[in-house]
């Protein structure tokens, strides 16, 4: 299972991403054998070299019994993130344990939905415009380079 997180997870004491929390709420106390926390960020440079693209933190790395790994992927602001290619590269280098076939991957993402009730009409208009832009932008999985052959579970979080 790959869990997209909004911030890098570098220590065991940090809070789990909202996507994993909703996964546990939906599926009960089923814990996947291999968990990969993936954070994508953008640098203040136009391009990041492939060798400098990711940093990995191994919390538990026993491919037979299970693993918990955090991956921090960094792209330049002119680059488009390609999570599929990144996961395949990490698998080929034996840094993560993930099925070979992308259709067997489970990738958890979170999308925000705004449910604020501002008091002034101007604030209501701003929140409505922001909600409209978020709702009608390019779908998150396609932005990250994930096609239809992946199982992407998108959870809606109200803010």
If you search the block for the tokens 């019994």, which residue do you land on? Answer: 65
With a cut of 90, say whether residue 76 has pLDDT above it: yes
Distance CA 71, CA 44 (A): 19
Average pLDDT value for residue range 73-79: 93
With a cut of 90, say whether residue 24 has pLDDT above it: no
With a cut of 90, say whether residue 137 has pLDDT above it: no
Look at residue 150 in the predicted model and tell me its pLDDT. Answer: 64
**Strand pairing report for 151-158 and 66-75:** unpaired
Between 41 and 25, where is the model more confident?
A: 41
Look at residue 155 in the predicted model and tell me its pLDDT. Answer: 59
With a cut of 80, say whether residue 111 has pLDDT above it: no
Average pLDDT value for residue range 74-95: 91
With a cut of 60, say whether residue 157 has pLDDT above it: no
Question: What's the N-to-C CA distance of the chain in angstroms?
Answer: 25
Question: What are the tens digits of pLDDT across the range 55-70?
Answer: 999 988 777 788 889 9
Kindly report the pTM of this predicted structure.
0.79
């Amino acid at each position: 299972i790959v869990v997209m997180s909004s911030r890098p997870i570098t220590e065991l004491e940090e809070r789990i991403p909202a996507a994993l929390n909703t996964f546990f709420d939906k599926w009960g106390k089923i814990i996947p054998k291999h968990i990969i926390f993936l954070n994508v960020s953008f640098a203040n440079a136009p391009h990041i070299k492939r060798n400098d693209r990711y940093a990995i933190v191994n919390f538990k790395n026993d491919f037979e019994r299970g693993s918990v790994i955090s991956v921090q992927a960094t792209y330049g602001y002119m680059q488009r993130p390609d999570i599929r290619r990144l996961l395949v590269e990490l698998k080929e280098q034996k840094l993560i344990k993930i099925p070979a076939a992308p259709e067997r991957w489970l990738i958890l993402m979170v999308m925000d939905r705004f449910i604020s009730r501002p008091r002034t009409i101007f604030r209501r208009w701003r929140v409505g415009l922001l909600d409209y832009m978020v709702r009608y932008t390019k779908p998150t999985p396609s932005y990250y380079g994930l096609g239809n052959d992946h199982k992407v579970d998108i959870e809606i979080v109200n803010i």
